Amino acid sequence: MRKGADGKRETPMNVEAVHLGKRFGSRVAVDDLSFTLEPGSITGFLGPNGAGKTTTLRLMLGLARGSGQTLFAGKSLSAYRPGTPVVGCHLQPRAFHPKRRARAHLDMLGRIHSVSPQRIDEVLAEVGLTDVANQRAGGFSLGMAQRLGLAAAILARPPVLFLDEPMNGLDAHAVYWFRTFLRSYADQGHVVFVSSHLMSEMQLLADRVIIIARGRLVADEKMETLLQRYGKPEVLARADDNGRLVAELHRMGIAAHLRDDGFVVADVDDTGIVATAATTAAVKLLELRQERSSLEQVYLELTAQSQEFVPSRSTP
């Protein structure tokens, strides 16, 4: 069970989005979306640019008008007393006054929930900003600004966390820190809902994935189930003569190509077939293994027909 703003343990909270909809004139931005977010779980929210992800988050938070409703433990946000820490959100990397110091920014927000100075110190330490707490936030790097945004979101220990592209523009160390922190937050029984375009990170981070395109639900499944359902099995091999191996696979009628990282990718689900091809071609296999498609490959396939802006294929 999670701890509330007063430090006491409380019952975990689930979130239900029910028939969400939003139009901008004749364009449908969100089209009858329904899904559930479970406590103790990280849900990745994916979709092409213009798919309606940010609009969906704003609808769920009551920041935009539309149809449908979002229930937090069975109640709308407006049904809770003002100041009740229900959901923390980080929707923009620099949602603070640039001349305000980091500690002052959190102190201002903390007054809404009667957060103690000790809790502010605790959160600054938690996100690694103690040493810059008295600096003006306008001078922060993008990574520091993202950490301050996260600090604001978790300040009152909300049971639900909504994050929109929280790892954009961060270096590998900062991304790893964010991933580790969010995993820990979810493991405390919280709901963590993350919108992102970083597929490799989502595959490492998310327990569940919701994919939308043109405002409509495309997939809503556990990560493992999604990859098993839509991911194609393939065999990866590395030989002392990759060219000859690819040529032999083609002769056998098997689609295969040489990847940039030096691996031959064969569209089969049996490593024995590739091993036979290697023997026939008289090449030595240095590495051989079976893999399934990555989240990025599955995502691209599921949303291939739903891109709003498609670049031309003309060469420069």
Q: List per-residue pLDDT tens for the chain, 316 residues long.
A: 445 554 555 668 999 999 999 999 999 999 999 999 999 999 999 999 889 999 999 999 999 999 999 999 999 999 999 889 999 999 988 899 999 999 999 999 999 888 999 999 999 999 999 999 999 999 999 889 999 999 999 999 999 999 999 988 788 888 898 999 999 999 999 999 999 988 989 999 999 999 999 999 999 999 999 998 888 888 999 999 999 999 999 999 999 999 888 999 999 989 999 999 999 999 999 999 988 788 998 999 899 876 655 555 544 4
CATH code, residues 232-292: 3.30.70.100
The whole-angstrom separation of Cα 144 and Cα 159 is 24
CB 210 within 8 A of CB 198: no
User: In 47-150, at which residue ranges do the beta strands (DSSP E only) sit?
Assistant: 67-72, 87-90
* Domain 14-228 classification at class level: alpha beta
Closest CA to 164 of 143, 190, 194: 194
The whole-angstrom separation of Cα 3 and Cα 173 is 28
Closest CA to 59 of 50, 47, 71: 71
Closest CA to 266 of 254, 278, 277: 254
- Domain ranges across the chain: 14-228, 232-292
